[in-house]
Amino acid sequence: MDFDFGSLLAFIIFGVTIGVVYGIVALGISLIYSGLDIVHFAHGEIYMFGAFLGLVLSQQIGIPYPGAMIGAMILAALLGMFIERVFYRRLTRSGGGYTVSGMGMIICGFGMSVALMNVAFLIWGADAEPFPVDFGIEPLEINDISIPPSYLLTAVVSLCLMGILNYFLRYTKIGLAVRAVAHNKDIAFLMGINVPLFISLIFGLACALAAAAGVLVGPMQSVQVEMGYLMLMKAFAAAVVGGFGSLPGALIGGILVGIFENLGAAYISASHKDIYAFLLLILVLMYRPAGLFGIVAKVKA
C-alpha cells in the first residue's frame, strides 16, 4: 500500500475521536476502581444501556439529542446505583469493609454483565439499530476522506465532560469528599463522610459517564446489544495503558488505544480490528502494569 500522509492523518483523527470515547468509559472504570477497589465487569453493559436509552429518548419520545443524552446519563446512573445497592453492597458487607477483593466480585460482575445483556436483548432485540442524528454541521474533508460531524462533536463533548468532571473532583466540596473516599475509606469515615453514600455516588457518576459515551457512539456506529462487551475491554485497555486511576491518563490511554486500533485496521487487517486493543492491553499489562506513564496505582482519582 502506498504511503499516503493524508489518509494516515484521517485514520489518526478517527482514532483520536473514538479514543476520547474510550477515555470517558475508562474514566468511569477508574472511578469505580478507586471507590470500591474492584473492576466493574458489567460496565460495558451500562454503556450499552445508555446508548439504547438515548436512542429511545431521542427517537421514540422525541427529546432533542442533548436532552436525550442527559436523560440517558441520569437513567443509567440510577440503574448503576440500583445494581450497586442491591447486589454489590451485600458482597462488600460480607467482606467486612467497604471493599471486596478476590474472585467473588469478578464472578458477580461477570454474571451481572450477561444478565444485563440478556435483558437488553429481550427489550430491544438482537438487531443493530441505526441512531440517525442531524447535527447540522458539514462533514470535514481531508484528502477525499470526509470526517462526519458526529466524530467532531463526540470529541468536543467528551472533552467537555472530562473537564466538568475534573472541575467537580478538584474544586467542589463533594469532589473533595469523593477523593477522600477514594484515598482512604476508614479515615474518610472518621472525618464524618457518609462513605456508603459516596460509593453509590461514585458508581452513579461512572455509569453516567458510560451512558454518555454510549449516546455519543450511537450516531457513529449503530446501537446493538453486543456492543458493551468489546467496549469494556477497550476501555479497560485504555485505563491500564494510561495508568489506573489517573484522569489525564485515561484520556491519553483511550486516544492511544483508538489510534493503535485504527492504524492496525488500516495497515494490517481490518477484520482483526478488535484484537489490537487486547494486544496492546496484554503487552502493557505484562511490561508496565502501572501504565505507560508510570503513575503509581495508589494515586487515585
List of residues contacting another protein (CB under 8 A)? 38-39, 41, 87, 90-91, 94, 101-108, 110-119, 121-122, 229, 233, 236-237, 240, 271-272, 274-275, 278-279, 281-282, 285-286, 289
Q: How far is the CB of 299 from another protein (least distance, A)?
A: 17
Q: How far is the CB of 164 from another protein (least distance, A)?
A: 27
Within the chain, strands assigned E span: 140-142, 145-147
* Residue 12 or 297 having the CB closest to another protein: 297
Pairing of strands 145-147, 140-142: antiparallel
* Residue 36 or 53 having the CB closest to another protein: 36
* Residue 42 or 155 having the CB closest to another protein: 42
* Residue 115 or 137 having the CB closest to another protein: 115
Q: How far from 139 is each of 21, 130, 258, 262, CA to CA, in Å?
A: 19, 19, 20, 20
**DSSP-assigned letter for residue 37:** S
Alpha-carbon gap, residue 239 to 233, rounded angstroms = 10
* Residue 40 or 185 having the CB closest to another protein: 40
Alpha-carbon gap, residue 245 to 282, rounded angstroms = 18
**DSSP-assigned letter for residue 87:** I
Q: How far is the CB of 216 from another protein (least distance, A)?
A: 23
* Residue 12 or 233 having the CB closest to another protein: 233
Alpha-carbon gap, residue 64 to 58, rounded angstroms = 6
Q: How far is the CB of 81 from another protein (least distance, A)?
A: 16
CA atoms within 13 A on the CB side of 8: 5
Q: How far is the CB of 83 from another protein (least distance, A)?
A: 9
**Helical segments of 84-148, H only:** 89-94, 103-124
* Residue 90 or 170 having the CB closest to another protein: 90
Q: How far is the CB of 277 from another protein (least distance, A)?
A: 8
* Residue 101 or 143 having the CB closest to another protein: 101
Buried b (16+ CB within 10 A) or exposed e, 165-192: beeebeeeeebebbebbbeebeebbeee
Q: How far is the CB of 237 from another protein (least distance, A)?
A: 8
- Spell out the residues 6+ positions from residue 166 whose beta carbon is closer than 8 angstroms to its own: 247
Q: How far is the CB of 96 from another protein (least distance, A)?
A: 14
CA atoms within 13 A on the CB side of 270: 2
Q: What are phi and psi of 223, to 5 degrees?
A: -100, 120
